[in-house]
Structure 1
Amino acid sequence: MDTSISLAHSIEEISANAWPARIRQTMGCWQLRAFDGITKRANSVLPLYKMPDYEWWMDEVERFYQHQSLPIRFQISDVSPQPLDEMLAAWGYQIEGQSAVYTATCHEILACAHIDDVLQVIVSSALTQEWMEAFIHIEEIPLHMKGFYQEMFQTIGLQQGFIQVRSQGECVGIGTVVLERGWAGLFNLATAQHFRRQRVATRAIHALAEWSLQHGAENVYLQVVSDNDKALALYRKLGFQHLYRYHYRTKY
C-alpha cells in the first residue's frame, strides 16, 4: 500500500478516537457514530478500507440513524472505499463540510513558529472548568450545549492537553491536543475576536507542538475547512503539508 494512503487510513482511525461518539456500532471495517447531533464527525458513518460484504448494509445504516433521530451522514475521504461517494451522490446525498487534513512534525513547527514572550500559555493535561468557560465563550457556543461538549471531552480515553493563550491575564486563545500512536491531533483552535491577527494561533500551535514532543508525539495532524484561506496560509507557514481531503454526504 502507498505510504500516504496507509498514513491517511491511520489518521482516519486516530482522529475518530480523538473526537469520539457516545454511541459507536461497528459494521465490518466501518463505524456508525452518534452523539446527539453534536458535530458532523461524531454523528456520521466512518467507512474504512472496503465496502460491506452483504447487500443490505444500507438498511442497517438507515435503521441506526433513524433510531437516533439523526440525518444519515457519511464522512467520505480520499481513502474511502470506491465507489461509495458516487453511489451516495446518485442516491441524493448532499456534500457538506469540504475539508482537508494537514500534517507536520513537531520539530518543523517549532522551527517555523517565531514567537515572543508577550503571550503566555497554560497547558493542562486535565479538562478544567476554567478551560471549558473559555471554550464556550471564545467559540460562542450556547450555554445549554456546555454539558454535551464537556461529556465529549471526558469521553476521550487518550492523553489530552488543553491550552489557554493569555494576554495580561485574559484568555484570548484556546486549543486541544490528543495523542495516539506518536501523533498529536490539534483540535478546537480558536482566537477571541478582538485578538485575531495578533499571532495567538501561532503561539498556541507552537506550545501544543512543544507539549506533544515532551509527551512522546513527534508528528502533528489537523483538519481544516478547505475554503479557510487564512488558516491554510498559517498552517503552511508553520510547515504543514496537505495529506488528504474529506467531506460529508448527508441525506435529511
Structure 2
Amino acid sequence: MEFTMGGRLEVRTTPADVGKRVSVRRVVDAPGEGAKFTDTVGVLTSWDNGVLSVTTRSGESVRIAESSLVAGKVVPPAPARRRGPAASFGELALVTARAWQPVESELLGDWRLRAAGGFTRRANSVLPLGDPGLPLGEALGTVRRWYGERGLPAYVQTATGAEGTQERLCADLEEHGWRREVSAEVRIAALAPVGDLDTDVSAVRTSRQPDGAWLSRYQRFETPGPHVLKVLGSGPSVWFASVPGDGPAGVPAAIGRCVVDGRWAGFMAVEVGPEHRRRGLATAVMTALARTALDEGASAAWLQVESDNEGARALYDRMGFATHHRYHHFRSA
C-alpha cells in the first residue's frame, strides 16, 4: 500500500474527508515487539477531539488516535467483484427484504419499520434506506417506542462493504449506544452454474407451501404460528424443497427455501439433519431449487450466511458465491 510522496510518509487525510473511503497507517506498541505499523482501510466515519473512527468492510469500527498516524490518504471505492452478476447495494437490499416480508410495517421517512412477532430479525428490524425525516436521536427514539409497543427488541439492519452502504450509520448507531449483535454476508453468483452442478436431485421434492414435515426440520422457532407461515410464504414466487428422511418420525433429511424475484433467486433455510451431513444433500437441494428458478426466468442467485458459519461459507465458496456486502443487526441498549 503506497503512502509516500517523494520517499516520505505523509498524512493526506483530514477531517474534511469524513464519509470517504480512506487508508491509514498508524504506529502501535506491540508487547515484546516494540513499535510497528498497522494499516486500516474503510470509511472515515468521524474525526473528533483528536480521534478518528474508521468503519471497515466487515462492519468493525476502529478508533485511532490522531497522534498515532504516520500516513493516510483517500482511496477509490472498493474494487468491483471479479465474479458474479453485476448488482448494486440498493437493488440487493430491496430484493433480500422482499424475501422476508413482515406481518406489519410502517414508514418513518425513508426508513421501514418491520415486525413479525419476533420471527427472524430480517422481518423484525428497521430497513433504513434513506433519511428518516427526523434527527437521528429522535428517529431512534421513535423506533424504540414502536417496537416496545409490540413487545419486541428494537433492531436496525445496516450494511457495509459496497458502494452506497451504511458505514456512517453504523458508527452513528454505536455513538447512540446501539450494539451490533449479528453480522452476515450477502453473497451472489450466476444461477446457471448452480443448476448445472453434477449432483443427484432425484430425491428432492419441491412444493409451494411448507408442510408439517418441512417445518419440523426448520429449527428457528418453538411453535410455527401464523406469523411464521406468513413470513416463510412471503415473496414474489416462493418454493420449498425437502429430501425425505429414513426415520419413522417423518422429519426430512434436508430442506431449503427459494424466492424467485425477477432475475434473482434467493436461497435460504437450507438445513441438513446432523445424521445426514456430508452426503451432498445441501447441494442437491440448492441445485433442484436453482433449476426451478431457471425455469421461471431467473439468472442470478443470492444468499445470506452468518460470518461465523465456516461450514456453509466453504460450501458456498465451492458453488461460486462471492461476497457482495455484509449486513449487521444493531440492537438498542
TM-score range, shorter chain: 0.7 to 0.9
Which of the numbers 197, 204, 228 marks the counterpart of 1:121?
A: 204
Q: Which has the larger radius of gyration?
A: 2
Which of the numbers 162, 172, 175 marks the counterpart of 1:87?
A: 172
- Structure 1 residues 197 and 146, CA gap change in structure 2 (3 angstroms): farther
- With a CA cutoff of 8 Å and minimum separation of 6, indicate the structure with the bigger relative contact order: 1
Counterparts of 1:51 and 1:80 in 2: how far apart (Å)? 14
Per-residue deviation, 1:76: 1.0
Counterparts of 2:149 and 2:222 in 1: how far apart (Å)? 27
> Which residue does the alignment assign to 1:164?
242
- Structure 1 residues 6 and 184, CA gap change in structure 2 (3 angstroms): closer
For structure 2, the residue ranges without an aligned partner over 5 or more in a row are: 1-76
Per-residue deviation, 1:38: 1.3
Q: Secondary structure at the match of 1:38?
A: coil
- Structure 1 residues 30 and 143, CA gap change in structure 2 (3 angstroms): closer
Q: Secondary structure at the match of 1:115?
A: coil
Alignment check: 8 A CA contact 1:136 1:142 kept: no
- Structure 1 residues 63 and 167, CA gap change in structure 2 (3 angstroms): closer
Partner amino acid, structure 2, of 1:76: T
Per-residue deviation, 1:109: 1.4
Is residue 2:306 matched to residue 1:228? no
> Which residue does the alignment assign to 1:51?
131
Counterparts of 2:200 and 2:229 in 1: how far apart (Å)? 32
> Which residue does the alignment assign to 1:180?
261
> Which residue does the alignment assign to 1:72?
154
* Larger CA deviation: 75-84 vs 33-42: 75-84
Counterparts of 1:52 and 1:142 in 2: how far apart (Å)? 31
> Which residue does the alignment assign to 2:212?
133
- Structure 1 residues 167 and 35, CA gap change in structure 2 (3 angstroms): closer
Alignment check: 8 A CA contact 1:191 1:201 kept: yes
Per-residue deviation, 1:15: 1.3
Q: What TM-score results when the alignment is normalised by the length of structure 2?
A: 0.67
Counterparts of 1:239 and 1:69 in 2: how far apart (Å)? 41
- Structure 1 residues 142 and 28, CA gap change in structure 2 (3 angstroms): closer
Counterparts of 1:145 and 1:73 in 2: how far apart (Å)? 22
Per-residue deviation, 1:64: 1.3
Per-residue deviation, 1:86: 0.8
Which of the numbers 67, 90, 103 marks the counterpart of 1:22?
A: 103
Is residue 2:188 matched to residue 1:103? yes
1:68-105 per-position Cα deviation (integer Å, ceiling 9, x unaligned): 12211111102444521111112221111110011111
1:35-80 per-position Cα deviation (integer Å, ceiling 9, x unaligned): 11111111111111x3334323223222211221221111110244
Question: How many aligned positions are there?
Answer: 244
Counterparts of 2:304 and 2:157 in 1: how far apart (Å)? 13
Alignment check: 8 A CA contact 2:305 2:312 kept: yes
Counterparts of 1:142 and 1:186 in 2: how far apart (Å)? 19
**Stretches of 4+ aligned residues off by more than 3 angstroms:** 1-6, 79-82, 140-143, 145-148, 166-170
Amino-acid identity (%): 29
> Which residue does the alignment assign to 2:94?
13
Counterparts of 2:141 and 2:326 in 1: how far apart (Å)? 27
Q: Secondary structure at the match of 2:102?
A: coil
Q: Identify the structure with the greater helix proportion.
A: 1
Alignment check: 8 A CA contact 1:95 1:249 kept: yes
For structure 1, the residue ranges without an aligned partner over 5 or more in a row are: none
